[in-house]
Amino acid sequence: MLRDRNCDDPKTEERVMTENNLPVLPQPDVRFRLYGPTEVTSDGLPVDLGEPKVRALVGALALAGSKQVRREELMAWLWEEPQPEGARAEFYKVVSKTRKRLENLGFDLRRDGSLYQLEVPADRVDVHVFRRDTQQAQQLLGKDDHQAVKLLRRALELANGDLMADLEGRRIDGLRHQMNETRRLATLNMAKARLRLGQHHELIGDLTGEHIRHPGDEMIAELLMTTLHRAGRQGDAQRVYRELRRRLQETLATDNLRRLDDLYQRMLNHDPELDPPAEEPVDADAPGSAKAKDGPDEQVRRERPKTTGSEVHIEFNKKVIAPGSVFGISNTFRT
């Protein structure tokens, strides 16, 4: 028991400090980062986890999402088969080291027989935040694309590296493949949503980068072709098609691109289903609208048809948008 008296003020009563009125210290903001090298941060600062086996154990438990994990499964994260002699005794030593490091961060590594559990809120683990945001975005695609894009962009910013990139083994390699495919689908879904929103000009750079990183991915090439076509760069869109066909002929001795063949022919035929989506209607008399701000001469100038650029570009801008779909990447994507 601690007594404290303010001697400067005789009217101040004696304060008694007990376990019930001790000041509550703020808990550190602990985050588990599994995309990229395995890392734990406390208030934004990295925590030294020590040896690779401790990092592997922390990563395996964080991935489990507060579920119980069998001892044998955790040991498979630390050693490939066949496991060395004395692996179980060494495993208990690794558990002890891991428990001490986690206790310093306010987490309890529990054991129930051969089951181990680390209770971590899902919003503290980047992999689980990525999964939550992508699942929510999936429900919004085609309904609220603005919010879906916001969620997918935040998720992809988290998934900016290979899963537990500092660790090796068949188990982690398989998980990395799954995570990379999930990230690829999120990238494609965001690109489709942005196309529906008419963001084809802004999307060119992102899809070009993805195409460079994955030159043989037909879905990325398909989206890039559509994006370039909608931006009036029909020649570049057709060049992407020809280069992909040539690459497949050289590497796989095949040029079977039926989806892209069809898309290429639609581009040559100026299919209106490939045109940009219609702009949302604006009340011309509403305050702040172009009509309300401009005089008659300016309104005439805005409504005057374009007279520059190629005939293909002029026709491209004038076409009526059809409600149909092509390969899931027209104005009404199939998700």
Six-digit token pair at 217?
């991915």
Q: What pLDDT was estimated at residue 248?
A: 81
Phi, psi of 143 (to 5 degrees): -110, -50
DSSP letter at 174 equals H
Judged by DSSP in three states, 232 sits in coil
The Cα-based distances of 172 to 34, 61, 62, 82, 138 in angstroms read: 11, 13, 14, 17, 26
> Which residue carries 């290979």 as its tokens?
162
Query: Virtual CA dihedral for 316, 319, 320, 321, nearest 10 degrees?
Result: -20
Checking if the pLDDT of 121 tops 50, the result is yes
> How far is the C-alpha of 19 from the C-alpha of 155, rounded, in Å?
43
Six-digit token pair at 135?
């699942």
pLDDT, tens digit, for every residue of 125-140? Answer: 999 999 999 999 999 9
Strand order of the sheet with strand 109-112? 69-70, 115-118, 109-112
Average pLDDT over residues 315-332: 33
pLDDT, tens digit, for every residue of 54-110? Answer: 999 999 999 999 999 999 999 999 999 899 999 999 999 999 999 999 999 999 999
Give the best-scoring range by mean pLDDT among 116-130, 283-297, 306-320. Answer: 116-130
Q: Are 249 and 255 in contact (CB under 8 A)?
A: yes
Q: What pLDDT was estimated at residue 55?
A: 96
> How far is the C-alpha of 95 from the C-alpha of 99, rounded, in Å?
6
DSSP letter at 214 equals S
Q: Is the dihedral of CA 97, 103, 108, 111 positive or negative?
A: positive
Lowest mean pLDDT among 111-115, 170-174, 318-322: 318-322
Checking if the pLDDT of 44 tops 60, the result is yes
Lowest mean pLDDT among 16-30, 117-131, 263-277: 16-30
> How far is the C-alpha of 139 from the C-alpha of 327, rounded, in Å?
20
% of the chain beyond a pLDDT of 90 = 61
> How far is the C-alpha of 230 from the C-alpha of 24, rounded, in Å?
58
Tell me the pTM: 0.72
- Tell me the CA end-to-end span of the chain in Å, nearest whole number: 65
Q: What pLDDT was estimated at residue 324?
A: 31
